[in-house]
Amino acid sequence: MAKVSIYLNFAGNTEEAFNFYKSVFKTEFASPIMKMKDAPPQPGMPQLSEKEANAVMHVALPILAGTLIMGTDMLESMGHKLVIGNNTTISLETDSREETDRLFNELSKGSSDIAPMTDMFWGYWGCCLDRFGIRWMFNFPKQEYKQ
């Protein structure tokens, strides 16, 4: 079933922030926290320091009314720099690859800062900053990565 989540980016303190949110909302993580070192090696991926390897790659926490907040630590070694404006993203998880492409194609018209739709180890993914300055993430996850 399609769903919308809010994706939050942090500068190295994702786990601390999400443990705080967990205590506030009195819920449990949707799945175990995934660290950068847990991801399968990807072509062109730089060697991570011990600190970066232990950074959060993905965490998801239900808050209210079926809404999930998700988060990650941004790594400057991978070309990511956290600034106000790229710290919050609307994440769309669709029911089909075709719907993912349709939404991406529509929302990315006239957009900037585009990460084209690409097959990743967890599924089909892309991102854009629309022409109004809103960041959108698109996911059609593989079955084993569905939240």
Domains and CATH numbers, the chain: 3-145 (3.10.180.10)
Residue (of 103, 76, 99, 74) closest to 13 by Cα position: 74
Is 134's pLDDT higher than 90?
Answer: no
Is 147's pLDDT higher than 70?
Answer: no
Residue type, 146: K
- Reported as a pLDDT band with limits 50, 70 and 90, residue 55 is very high
pTM of the model: 0.75
